[in-house]
Amino acid sequence: DLEIGIVDPAARAEKIKELETHVLGVSRGGGSGLCLAMQELLGNYSLLERYYLEESVAKAIAMDALIIEGAGGDEAAMGPPLTSMVDDTFFIIRKCIRRAASSGSLDGTCAILNMACSMLSGSGDSGLGGTLKKRLRSGYPTSLYLDLSQAYALASSAFHSSSLLLQSGVTSVGMSSGSGMLTGSGANSSGSGIDSDRARLMFLAFFNDADVAVEYVETLRRTLLEELPPSLSMASSNLFSGSSADNSNNPMRSPLDLLQGSEKAKLESCLVEGLSTVVSELRDLGKIGAHQLSSSAVKPRIAPWVDAFTTHNHTPTEEEFLTLEGEDSFVAGLLSHLSSLLSSFEGSLTPYNFDLLIGVVTSELAARMEKLGGLLLDREVRALTAFLTSKTTGSIRDKFSRLTQIATLLNLEKVSEVTDYWSVGDKGPSSTMLSWQLNASEVKKVLALRVDFRSEDVKRLKL
């Protein structure tokens, strides 16, 4: 425009020098230049965006509401409980990042990305991650008898009576697209039973929030990887060359390839590495939730079930063993209890969290049974393994590997048969059948439990 609009060469040259002074920051008369002005403007914008992000997320947390898909309808069709703050927080974060990218500044966009990561991670005490960490660490409320179906029934009835308190406050009830939303802020509920059911349901909602937040982070990362590089590349191209970049014509290229050198590395660090750290911290929050759930609802109930095993005769005669096979064994009662316990949680946890719970139950069972030495009946170990495997998509057999090997040793016909499973050599135990989790000393201790094995024979074993 200067070349065409100004005819006088001297005046045109003067205007071009003035433009270079502003654009390149060349300070002839003490001026700061356009580049420095842009940096100052971006700094002020970042402060405003940070304030908006923090206040909006804080408001989303303060207005948190319980959401149950299908509430008000068939109880069996209800989805796991969640809260509204996860959806609201990610909506706010995505909006802020997109707005930052529209500025065309990579530094400004990365600054907002880092702020978003701090809002999501569980390393601090604020934001989504910090809030979930505090609420999960508060623990899972206990009661004399755990029955989450009662909590679901209460949640369902709230959509008809509009009178259930699910937080420390007065409940308002709404329905939208098949999802129920219950909110509250301010009074007391009637009855300690409703208080306990409400508290348990809210804990499970926060536990599920940690898992759902991981899915949202993965989705956010994929979306931003597609959106940000083209946006920043186009802005940079328009600013310095007056035309859009032509890199997008190659469909085989990654969106990050639209950026060059240090710009690509900077965005990749903020977007990929930063959000990967958030995922790891959110998974740690899930482990906190699983630990709290285990301590309050799993361990206290499993203990008496497994302790009942010690009342059974574990050195039966052949006739007694045949009689026991026709009766309800210990494992039948245990499986019935486990089925009831797991069924009460199956519909109220996300699939990932339910698998976590299965892992906790498996580890607790294995630990308690090993402490009791109640591993004489191989069929009971196999039955437990088969039952728990049917409840999860993951593998739990490795958690029972020690127990299975102990049961195998206890079912040997004679002491010398142990060499069929354990070969002696410089490299220790090896077998085509078993990958041993027991050392030589533990093997001898297990064999010593057999009342029909002579202790001298066990001690003479060379393993």
Domains recognised in the chain with CATH numbers: 1-31 (no CATH), 35-287 (1.10.357), 300-460 (1.20.58.1970)
202 vs 16, higher pLDDT: 202
How do residues 119-161 score in pLDDT, each as one tens digit?
Answer: 998 777 889 999 999 999 998 887 544 444 444 444 444 444 3
Cβ-proximal residues to 138 (8 Å cutoff; 6+ apart), any chain? 203
pLDDT attached to residue 128: 94
Q: Measure the N-to-C terminal CA separation of the chain; round to a whole number of Å.
A: 91
Residue 71: pLDDT band with limits 50, 70, 90: low
Cα–Cα distance measured from residue 306 to residue 297, given in angstroms and rounded to the nearest whole number = 15
Sheet with 82-83, side-by-side order of all strands: 82-83, 66-69, 179-184, 171-176
How do residues 375-396 score in pLDDT, each as one tens digit?
Answer: 445 666 777 777 788 877 777 7
Neighbours of 254 (CB within 10 A): 12
What pTM was estimated for this model as a whole?
0.67
Q: Quick one: tokens of 252?
A: 């085989």
Q: How far is CA 223 from CA 266, 299, 419, in A?
A: 18, 41, 58
Q: What percent of the chain has pLDDT over 90?
A: 23
- In a 13 Å sphere around the CA of 204, the CA atoms on its Cβ side amount to 29
Distance of CA 199 to the CA centre of its chain: 20
How do residues 161-195 score in pLDDT, each as one tens digit?
Answer: 333 334 433 333 333 334 444 443 333 444 455 67
pLDDT attached to residue 220: 93
How do residues 433-451 score in pLDDT, each as one tens digit?
Answer: 457 788 888 888 888 877 6
Three-state DSSP class for residue 82: strand
